[in-house]
Structure 1
């Protein structure tokens, strides 16, 4: 039942993506070739795709974690993660107007999880992971900026969100989730660039980060040890 409910909730959140895209404001100084968010909203097909991506990722997480109080937070992250992945693939941007509310809402749901499970460690683990992951990604962003790297500040913000739901699952899940994102980005991203499916000079890392977080939640503790 928990798996079905989490998948359904994440799918419903994912399906709301086009509705949100029609309503969010454009960046103050967008690139000339950036498509407008409202033009990315698409039709019924996109709704179904985002719903499916959210439902599958949410369902996978629900099968792999034992802290069921965190499932609402994961359903939200998986659903909105589907929107962000799509937008990043099309624009190479992770909109602050989506990531910032997601961050706050995720904190709220993690807090609810701590109350439901009567375990204050959930909040402490989320906070520690949030700080450590943010600092690491902020440093990577700073170094990458000097070397012409592709890690954007939107990726730094998204990493902080993912840390909130990975942290309470343990060090193994958090480490595997972040490492899997880089590994997927390196293998799939480079492969797609070589196949000229994507432009290697404008790399969208967001989708791989979200996918990596799901991998870390489901398989991380089994691979690296609890």
Structure 2
């Protein structure tokens, strides 16, 4: 493990995390959400001050307006710091475990897109198609470059197989009665299937299983803390991304 590589990746991840939070106000205007922002846990900036899709100024009184702006500004700084720390851990972890292998840039590109998608899903309950597509193109390009560099183009077929299997599995789950999976989740699962398929069947299996385990733990914790109700809509994208990241680290 190269300390310099891990440090550089962590710093890059911190920057990506901060930028992902800065992108949310723009995304909120371009991709309206399906409901009020859902930001439980660390990313919650406080009651009413999340920079999500339903972000609106308080009543028009001057004092209230200034207080609302100050609250939202503080919330954004707080959320940006959390996203920066998350990005540093995600990027640094990938660099520490995978090392200077040719596919590392591809993993980092997917992770960078994932940070934006996770924040957007938490804030807007949306995984916008253009962002999912951009993440797929960036990750795919990184894997193609790795295949050329290592002279192993056959691994691209494994990556495509992982994407197809992930898409098929999650599409079937989304069609089940009572399923809360959205088609944005299905598309994101296909994107994450690319790097997981590249790594092999074990990584792909873990990447398909871990998101459900992680999401179950989070939902049970929120229910126990009475932060949500049984019918509360919660984002699944962050669990998908966290599960894929853990699968890469454990493979």
Q: 1:141 pairs with 166, 174, 195, which one?
A: 174
Whether 1:207 and 2:238 are equivalent positions in the alignment is: yes
Distance between the aligned counterparts of 2:146 and 2:132, measured in 1?
Answer: 21
Deviation of 1:156 (Å)? 0.6
Greater C-alpha radius of gyration = 2
Residues 7, 75 of structure 1: 8 Å contact kept: no
Aligned length, in residue pairs:
216
1-10 vs 161-170, greater mean Cα deviation: 1-10
Deviation of 1:32 (Å)? 5.7
Deviation of 1:132 (Å)? 1.0
Distance between the aligned counterparts of 2:209 and 2:7, measured in 1?
Answer: 28
TM-score normalized by structure 2?
0.76
Distance between the aligned counterparts of 1:138 and 1:43, measured in 2?
Answer: 34
Q: Report the counterpart of residue 218 of structure 1 in structure 2.
A: 249
Unaligned runs of 5+ in 1: 222-226
Distance between the aligned counterparts of 1:86 and 1:200, measured in 2?
Answer: 22
Cα distance change, pair 5–164 in 1 and its aligned pair in 2 (3 A): farther
Distance between the aligned counterparts of 1:197 and 1:108, measured in 2?
Answer: 40
Deviation of 1:13 (Å)? 2.1
Q: 2:79 pairs with 46, 70, 77, which one?
A: 46
Q: 2:31 pairs with 14, 21, 27, which one?
A: 27
TM-score normalized by structure 1?
0.84
Deviation of 1:38 (Å)? 7.5
Q: Report the counterpart of residue 224 of structure 1 in structure 2.
A: none
Deviation of 1:183 (Å)? 0.7
Distance between the aligned counterparts of 1:62 and 1:195, measured in 2?
Answer: 35
Q: 2:198 pairs with 168, 189, 202, which one?
A: 168
After superposition, where does 1:192-203 map in structure 2 within 5 Å? 192-201=222-231, 202-203=233-234
SS of 1:190's equivalent? helix
SS of 1:198's equivalent? coil
Q: Deviations over 1:164-211 (max 9, x none)?
A: 111111111111122111111112222222322234421211111111
Moved over 4 A (4+): 37-42
Q: 1:93 pairs with 95, 105, 126, which one?
A: 126
Deviation of 1:36 (Å)? 2.5
Cα distance change, pair 166–157 in 1 and its aligned pair in 2 (3 A): same
Distance between the aligned counterparts of 1:200 and 1:47, measured in 2?
Answer: 29
Q: Considering only aligned residues, what root-mean-square deviation do their CA atoms show, in Å? A: 2.4
Cα distance change, pair 175–51 in 1 and its aligned pair in 2 (3 A): same
Deviation of 1:105 (Å)? 1.4
Q: Report the counterpart of residue 98 of structure 2 in structure 1.
A: 65
Distance between the aligned counterparts of 2:55 and 2:152, measured in 1?
Answer: 42
Q: 2:111 pairs with 64, 78, 84, which one?
A: 78
Whether 1:11 and 2:14 are equivalent positions in the alignment is: yes
Distance between the aligned counterparts of 1:159 and 1:148, measured in 2?
Answer: 19
